[in-house]
Copies of this chain bind each other. A is one copy, B any other.
């Protein structure tokens, strides 16, 4: 994952355009066959209009002596993203209105965009800005804003059921590492892990690579109703590559399968984490959890957006993320996926009193194996609590046990005819609470 992030890091990405397209292409090589959904400039998607496509070839500011002050070539953060074409000379005083820096972080280049306003600008460190001599400057923004497309890349791994799980991430940020190359590389590898499994999954998995906000809005305008019908759980994957503690932001409903699976996986993963209720700022969960969709979509992050000083600056570089951190993140997302896969509803076939385990070789004889070796407490737990009234995640939570350890015990008991899959009839209330 780290190598893939290194490969993608230098590309000049934006909502649209060649750098974005190139990024999708490289992610497809890992994640698997990717369908492209295209939304044409000017198309109305809910309250939004698809913007023009942006292509930038060159951009720089030179001082009176002809020396380059900042340039796209040095860092693609120097140019305000989606800057309109411009060429001309202007004195420092006028140039200042087009410059952006961070007085509180004098050595960081900020990340700025101007998607929906026809303007241009440059970002630079505050240290450099304060040293700019008076005089005339020459500016070039060699860019196009022309009819084109917003594109969404989608990888689908079909399961036995139409019920779906969504992982959504965004690929529109230029050279920043945690926000946002960590999300795309983790999602691409999660898709690969699932694709490489021998067995068809129980549920259908959908992996989305899109430009933030407009991509999610556009996708939902075309496919939102299908998600409302089929989505069991979803996650916005972002800011997941740094070594900070985990942060899980719940879905708007707060108790969806997404939340239950994520909190279950985190609770048994051994890493420190924080749980946050949904709030209306943030990333694409804003769209998935807009009131009329109200989808079961949460977001597992590490250091959350807007909470760390490197956020949206040139300091969010490849040294801010790490291979081990990306590995742990992939592992927990995979645990969440596994918890969702394992989460069926079972019921005991002998619900009146206990079945006689000994008669089936499932109970220790006098001097025999220890109870623990036979998972006796787990067996008794699932035989009692799996009664068709609640799913296995509820049963696992009730016993404070990881579903990953209970599911094999369930499978053993299914093979002995002591448990069976319950007829699915939607969400139920546990009989024990």
Contacts and interface: CB of A to CB of B under 8 A. Distances in A.
A320 interface: no
A353 B294 CA distance: 10
Interface of A: 45-49, 80, 97, 100, 112-114, 116-117, 119, 121, 213, 216-217, 220-221, 224, 252-254, 277-281, 286-287, 289-294, 347-348, 350-356, 358-359, 365-367, 376-377, 380-381, 383-387, 398-399, 431-433
A432 B253 contact: yes
Nearest to A357: B47
B220 A431 contact: no
B281 A380 contact: yes
A241 B381 CA distance: 28
A287 B353 CA distance: 4
A252 B387 CA distance: 12
B289 A384 contact: yes
Main secondary structure of the interface of A (DSSP, over half): loop
Contacts of A355: 47
Given A119-B366, A280-B377, A365-B114, A290 B351 contact: yes
Nearest to A48: B356
9 contacts: A46-B350, A100-B367, A220-B352, A253-B433, A280-B380, A280-B383, A281-B377, A290-B351, A291-B348
B217 A354 contact: yes
A278 B432 contact: yes
B100 A292 contact: no
Contact of A366 (B121, B352, B433): B121
Nearest to A292: B351
Nearest to A277: B398
Contact of A352 (B224, B252, B432): B224
A359 B291 CA distance: 21
